[in-house]
Every structure is written in structure tokens, then in C-alpha cells.
Amino acid sequence: MTPERPGLLTGLLPPRAELTEVFEDPQAVDLFPGERALMDRALSRERRREFATVRMCARTALARLRVAPAPILPRGGPDPWARQAPAWPDGVVGSMTHCPGYRAAAVARDGDLASLGIDAEAHAPLPAGVIDGVTLPDERRHLARLARSHPHVAWESVLFSAKESVYKAWFPLTGRWLGFLDCAVEPDPEGGVFTAVLRVPGPVVAGARVDRFTGRWRVLDGPGRTLVGTVVAVPGAAPAATPENV
């Protein structure tokens, strides 16, 4: 009997969030007409499969919240991210992610969490020339220190994924773009957490200004591919997430 593969993001989110993650695409996924119309526009077979599977993950997670199945379509709008960010059912916050060999969705009631962000990436150095465009000088110095002390981790991919999760949690709270250089991320190599300090005015949550997000990260070795995953969960009744409540 083949042992069950451990999850990449399982256990990183608070108990009040529901997560569904898969490492393989099913043969077929039922989609709503609007979703299928969007999927059919994708040029590649891989893009169509990830589109369908991540929506299957989202509906599975929503079912655990007892939310009826519904199409998950882009929010739309002038902002480039808004044109792609999912519009969740009323009363729900959520996030989706996909990369080769992995799809996941996480959701929660908006009375439990103010926002969610999840991301998964290949655990590998970033392509040449990318790192300078997505990191600040202090971040690059910190990455260099981490590379010396913990050389088994591709810290560039951890930091990049963390910024993606921060943005996914940020956007529903603000409706505004957050650039890669608008927050400074510092991963903790021992605790599996990271802190993202905002360099622009943050959102107001429960009457308090949020100036930083705290999230969690994990590297998972798997057959033929190693992944890094990150999560950010913003509590609905506190100004910012902490390691204890994410």
C-alpha cells in the first residue's frame, strides 16, 4: 500500500480555515458554464488543467464550510490583479495557488479571518536577473546570510512565495496593487515563519492599521519535484497575524 503523501500547506493555516490540496490533476472536473468559457480561452493544456483542478479544490474546501457550489470567476476591474483574483461567495475569504505538480485552495468565513493568502512555487533559485527586481537590498543581504547558515534551502523561492502570499492577503483588504518592493520579508529559518513589513500604508482591520503580516512557510520534498509553500492568515479581530494565530 502506497503511503499517503504529506501535504505542503496542511497544518500551516489556522483551524478555522479549510484547505484542499492535490498533487495530480483528475481526469475530469465539473465546471460551471462561465468557468468553462474562461478555461477554453487558455492556450495550453497545462493551463486548462490547473484552472479546472484548482476550482475543484476550492469547491471541496467550500463544501466543508457548508457553502453551496458556485462558479469561481475573476473579480474583474481595471487593476491587473483584480482581473484574475477570484471572487468568492458572500461571507467567504479565500485564496488559490497552482504550480507544476501542485494545486490548492484555502477558504474561511469572513467572521473568522479577514483575509487569506496561499502560494506554492518550485523550490529552486529564481531565474537570473529576477532577484534584484523582487527584493530590497536589506532582503538580499539577509538571503545571503541564510544561504550561508542554511544552504539546503532555496531562500530566494521562500521569499518570493512569501511575497505572493502577502499580496493575495493584501489585495482583498485594500483593492490596491502591492509591488514586490512595497514590503520587506524576513524568513525565520528555525521557526518556519516569516514577517512582512509593509513599506506603504496598510489596510485597516478591526479598526486598527496593519503595518505587517506574519505567515508560515514549508519546503516539501516529493517525487521529481521539491516545492515551497507559504501562507498568510489575517485574523478578523486583530490588527495583524502572529506566529501563534496563523
Is residue 50 situated within a structural domain? Answer: yes
Is residue 64 situated within a structural domain? Answer: yes
- pLDDT tens column, 27-81: 989 999 999 998 888 778 899 999 999 999 999 999 999 999 999 998 876 666 6
Is residue 11 situated within a structural domain? Answer: no
Tell me the average pLDDT of the chain.
90
Give residue 83's pLDDT.
66
Q: Element (H or E) spanning 166, and its range?
A: helix 155-174
Is residue 243 situated within a structural domain? Answer: no
- Contact between residue 185 and residue 163 where contact means Cβ atoms under 8 Å apart: yes
* Cell 457548508, located at residue: 66
Is residue 13 situated within a structural domain? Answer: no
pTM: 0.91
Give residue 238's pLDDT.
41
Q: Structural domain of residue 102, as residue ranges?
A: 18-235
3-state secondary structure at position 76: coil
Q: Which positions of the chain have pLDDT values less than 50?
A: 1-3, 238-246
Ramachandran angles phi, psi of 208, nearest 5°: -125, 145
Order the strands of the 92-99 sheet from edge to edge: 18-22, 102-109, 92-99
CATH of the domain at 44: 3.90.470.20
* Cell 483542478, located at residue: 53
Is residue 148 situated within a structural domain? Answer: yes
- Number of domains comprising the chain: 1
Is residue 107 situated within a structural domain? Answer: yes
User: How many of the other CB atoms lie within 10 Å of CB of 106?
Assistant: 27
Give residue 78's pLDDT.
64
Largest Cα–Cα distance of the chain, in whole Å? 53
Q: Helix and strand tally (H, E) in the chain?
A: 5, 10
Is residue 1 situated within a structural domain? Answer: no
- pLDDT tens column, 213-224: 999 999 998 666
- Contact between residue 32 and residue 71 where contact means Cβ atoms under 8 Å apart: yes
65-71 LR contacts (CB < 8 Å, sep 24+): 65/18, 65/92, 65/107, 65/108, 65/109, 67/91, 67/92, 67/107, 70/32, 71/31, 71/32, 71/33, 71/34, 71/35
Instruction: Give the cell for residue 218.
Output: 514549508
